Amino acid sequence: MTVVVVIVVVVVVVVVVLVVVVVVVVVVVVVVVLKVALVVLVFVVVVEVVVVVVEVVVVVVVIVVVVVAVEVTVVVVVVVVVVVVVVHVVLKVVLVVLVFVVVLEVVVVVVVVVVVVEVVVVVVVIVAVLAVEVTVVVVVVV
């Protein structure tokens, strides 16, 4: 009878230690994922601010250059067209980068949801195992 009680206590202690280890690992993983998501979000905000500033500067520069081009030569108009095309291409590249960042954000959210689901499944399994062990102990004691 004493041996059974000792075995049950050892099993319960081992299960509790495993649960604590799993919870700590999950918390660490969630914190790391959330920090990565925060860095990505900060990057997105910085890129968006830079894009807005670039757009404003480009509009002002284009307006000034167009006004000057009307008074100067055809060469200046060609330069303006080249600048506008280059800015357009750069803005398209920035747009592609922003789309990539949004996709990364979605992936991070999916990973966090998967981790939370895995934690819930592990906790349910552990509770089920503990319930079976307690039932076995009660049956053995009775």
Per-residue model confidence as pLDDT tens digits over 1-13? 678 888 888 888 9
DSSP per-residue string spanning 118-142: HHHHHHHHHHHHHHHHHHHHHHHH-
3-class DSSP state of 73:
coil
Task: Identify the band that residue 16 occupies on the pLDDT scale cut at 50, 70 and 90.
Answer: very high
User: Mean pLDDT throughout 86-115?
Assistant: 83
Q: How far apart are CA 134 and CA 140, in angstroms?
A: 10
| Structure confidence at residue 24 (pLDDT) | 93
| Structure confidence at residue 23 (pLDDT) | 92
**Tokens standing for residue 132:** 């079976």
pLDDT in tens, 41-100: 999 889 889 988 999 998 999 888 877 767 777 676 678 788 888 888 888 888 888 888
Q: How far apart are CA 23 and CA 46, in angstroms?
A: 34
pTM of the model: 0.37
| Structure confidence at residue 74 (pLDDT) | 66
Q: What angle do CA 47, 84, 42 make, to 5 degrees?
A: 0
Question: Residue 12 carries which DSSP code?
Answer: H
3-class DSSP state of 111:
helix
Contact 40, 104 (CB under 8 A): yes
